[in-house]
Amino acid sequence: MDLFTSIVDMISTFLGLGKYGLEVLSSYVISLAMLALLVWISARRAAKVRAELAAVEARLKDSNDG
């Protein structure tokens, strides 16, 4: 904990955040992480569904031809 606080203090002094460094940094980190997670989940699901649809369409086309 001591190490953690001193690291946060170091960073917030470096960024000029004063005594509220932990609050500001953590809210930025948490918010951006949540946004990134949302974008990542959406993108992954989009890619998966697109591949699945392509597979289904290809299979149906094959069975129609054959």
Partner 1 sequence: MSFWEYANPKKFIATTTPILPWAFGIAAACLIVGLVWGFFFTPDDIRQGSTVKIIYLHVPAAMMAINVWGMMLVTSLIWLIRRHHVSALAARAAAPIGIVMTLIALVTGAIWGQPMWGTWWAWDPRLTSFLILFLFYLGYMALWEAIDDPDTAADLTSILCIVGSVFAFLSRFAVQFWNQGLHQAESVSLWEWTFNVIARFFAFVWNSIFGAEQVIEVAVREENVSNVFFVPLLICMIGFVVLFVALVFQRTTTEIRVRRIRALESRARRG
What residue ranges bind partner 1 (CB under 8 A)? 12, 15-21, 23-24, 26-28, 30-32, 34-35, 37-39, 42-43, 45-46, 49-50, 52-53, 56-57, 60, 63
State the minimum distance, in angstroms, from the CB of residue 3 to partner 1.
22
| Closest CB to partner 1 among residues 7, 55 | 55
How far is residue 8's CA from residue 48's CA, in Å, rounded to a whole number? 39
| Closest CB to partner 1 among residues 7, 50 | 50
How far is residue 55's CA from residue 66's CA, in Å, rounded to a whole number? 16
| Closest CB to partner 1 among residues 7, 24 | 24
**Positive/negative CA dihedral, 17, 21, 23, 25:** positive
DSSP state of 18: G
